[in-house]
Chain A
């Protein structure tokens, strides 16, 4: 009998791990957005002194790991595991960013949902008694992502209004067995959902059904009322995807329009020419590590369902005409451990 498993996809923490620190470093565009004050640092050069965007992205991750560990008042070797991922081929931003840290490392890929995957695995490691402290990190970089997934940066092309803007930045969290919260109380692991969308310029529409599926599973598994959370915040559905998610949830009797929010819509001002909103592994990570963590710590938010959304496409799969499989993980974060219900 699994005592922590609730329903088909959800686990409930019996001794919820505490998120003891969060750190975020972002690029120039994010540093001019509405959440600018919440980030630890905004760099004004996309190369950040390196000679390639890939190296710059690794530096983001390396610096965030150092920053978040210091904020948690931990020595680097007090970390039992680092779990990290990014969008680049073979996850080089993570592995090259972490390579000098000399710490046990899990490199993971869940596209833009990676921070959710990292938090779930980190929480499970702590809950299972395998670790005291786990660092969860993800990053993305507009320039390296454009280079890999789209066109060269200087190419004079237009994007459709459904396209999104990859966030430059990295966010990191320290999960610990002991601490004052906020706490990860429940996790719902997503399934791969593919509704046949092939347009990589409409990722919100591709991911929304996966988000609806995971959120539905979360409430179904836990039996919690849909208005249990103060906010249900998705990763990077953007304006189009958020609207679709709302419709899909409503058609399943989950009416939470006023509670829904999306990191991709929070991080930029729509005047910043980002079309449907932000995206990327860094998007949900920096909005959580910057803004949402601050709100939870200060008691402005007490319970949130954090739902990072990922599109599992590759440039090759797109060229071969495949549709876009998507995955969405949900992490419940609460300011008290009580867990209730």
Chain B
């Protein structure tokens, strides 16, 4: 008669034998790559300030440049390698957000401009937008109530 583990025992056993992600290595990589992306952003920010733009305009211009860089690196087939190396370091900054919109757009081009690119572009970024915008509305209402 075959000896079979219970599902519970099996899950515990699998947890034990499955290798874990290399957390320390991944954290260091994320720290340095994420930091580097921020330094690049800061460089553009300072440059725009230098050119005489005010803080708000410089922020917007910096975001536009970083999004452009993220999308360009995605199109050049580089951002996925960067992401594999850096993990959250390249996912969290705005370049990662740009990557998450550009990559499905490239992927689903074969299904056409409407049902492919149009419908699928926000496949990954969509939830971030939905809950990000919803949250900012809620926080805005709370802010309004406290102030008045």
Binding site for B on A (CB under 8 A): 51-54, 147, 151-162, 195-197, 202, 205, 209, 213, 216, 220, 240, 243-244, 247-248, 251-252, 273
Question: Can you give 28 contacting A-B residue pairs, CB < 8 Å?
Answer: A52-B110, A152-B123, A153-B103, A153-B106, A154-B75, A154-B79, A155-B83, A155-B99, A156-B81, A156-B82, A156-B83, A156-B86, A156-B99, A157-B83, A158-B21, A158-B83, A161-B20, A161-B21, A162-B19, A195-B5, A195-B11, A197-B11, A202-B18, A209-B4, A244-B14, A247-B13, A252-B2, A252-B3
Task: Given A196-B10, A197-B11, A202-B14, decide whether A153 and B19 contact each other with a Cβ distance below 8 A.
Answer: no
Tally of contacts, chain A with chain B, CB under 8 A: 102
Contacting pair A160 B21 (CB below 8 A): yes
Contacting pair A152 B96 (CB below 8 A): no
Q: What are the 3 closest A-B residue pairs judged by CB atoms, nearest first?
A: A156-B83, A152-B107, A154-B103
User: A247 to B9, alpha carbons, bound, how many Å?
Assistant: 14
Query: Interface centre among A54, A158, A159, A216, by most B CB within 10 Å?
Result: A158
Contacting pair B79 A156 (CB below 8 A): yes
Query: Across the interface, which residues of A come within 8 angstroms of B10, CB to CB?
Result: 195-197, 209
Per DSSP, are chain B's interface residues mostly helix, strand or loop, or mixed?
A: helix
Contacting pair B2 A153 (CB below 8 A): no
Partner of A155, one of B19, B20, B100: B100
Tell me which residues from 94 to 126 in chain B have a Cβ below 8 Å from any Cβ of chain A.
96, 99-100, 102-104, 106-108, 110, 123-124
Contacting pair B26 A158 (CB below 8 A): yes
Query: Across the interface, which residues of A come within 8 angstroms of B7, CB to CB?
Result: 195-196
Contacting pair B19 A161 (CB below 8 A): yes
Contacting pair A154 B102 (CB below 8 A): yes
B67 interface hit (Cβ, 8 Å): no
Task: Given A152-B123, A154-B99, decide whether A162 and B11 contact each other with a Cβ distance below 8 A.
Answer: no
User: A202 to B10, alpha carbons, bound, how many Å?
Assistant: 13
Query: Across the interface, which residues of B come within 8 angstroms of A153, CB to CB?
Result: 80, 103, 106-107
> Taking the nearest CB of chain A, how far is it from the CB of B111, in angstroms?
9
Contacting pair B83 A162 (CB below 8 A): no
Query: Across the interface, which residues of A come within 8 angstroms of B2, CB to CB?
Result: 213, 216, 220, 252
B90 interface hit (Cβ, 8 Å): yes
Return the chain B residue nearest A51 by Cβ. B110
Tell me which residues from 66 to 99 in chain B have a Cβ below 8 Å from any Cβ of chain A.
74-75, 77, 79-84, 86-87, 90-91, 96, 99
> Taking the nearest CB of chain A, how far is it from the CB of B20, in angstroms?
7
Query: Interface centre among B18, B19, B110, by most A CB within 10 Å?
Result: B18
Return the chain B residue nearest A208 by Cβ. B14
Partner of A147, one of B17, B82, B107: B107
> Taking the nearest CB of chain A, how far is it from the CB of B52, in angstroms?
35
> Taking the nearest CB of chain B, how far is it from the CB of A192, in angstroms?
14
> Taking the nearest CB of chain B, how far is it from the CB of A257, in angstroms?
15
Contacting pair B100 A240 (CB below 8 A): no
> Taking the nearest CB of chain B, how far is it from the CB of A73, in angstroms?
38
Contacting pair A240 B19 (CB below 8 A): yes
> Taking the nearest CB of chain A, how far is it from the CB of B25, in angstroms?
11
User: A248 to B2, alpha carbons, bound, how many Å?
Assistant: 10
User: A196 to B80, alpha carbons, bound, how many Å?
Assistant: 32
Query: Across the interface, which residues of B come within 8 angstroms of A51, CB to CB?
Result: 110
18 A-B pairs besides A154-B103, A157-B80 with CB distance below 8 A are A147-B107, A152-B104, A154-B77, A154-B106, A155-B80, A155-B103, A156-B83, A156-B84, A156-B96, A158-B83, A196-B7, A196-B10, A197-B11, A202-B14, A244-B13, A244-B17, A252-B3, A273-B84
User: A220 to B5, alpha carbons, bound, how many Å?
Assistant: 19
User: A152 to B2, alpha carbons, bound, how many Å?
Assistant: 42
Tell me which residues from 1 to 54 in chain B have a Cβ below 8 Å from any Cβ of chain A.
2-5, 7, 10-11, 13-14, 17-22, 26
Query: Across the interface, which residues of A come within 8 angstroms of B82, CB to CB?
Result: 156
User: A43 to B29, alpha carbons, bound, how many Å?
Assistant: 34
Query: Across the interface, which residues of B come within 8 angstroms of A240, CB to CB?
Result: 17-19
Contacting pair B103 A152 (CB below 8 A): yes
Query: Across the interface, which residues of B come within 8 angstroms of A154, CB to CB?
Result: 74-75, 77, 79-80, 99, 102-103, 106-107
Query: Across the interface, which residues of A come within 8 angstroms of B77, CB to CB?
Result: 154
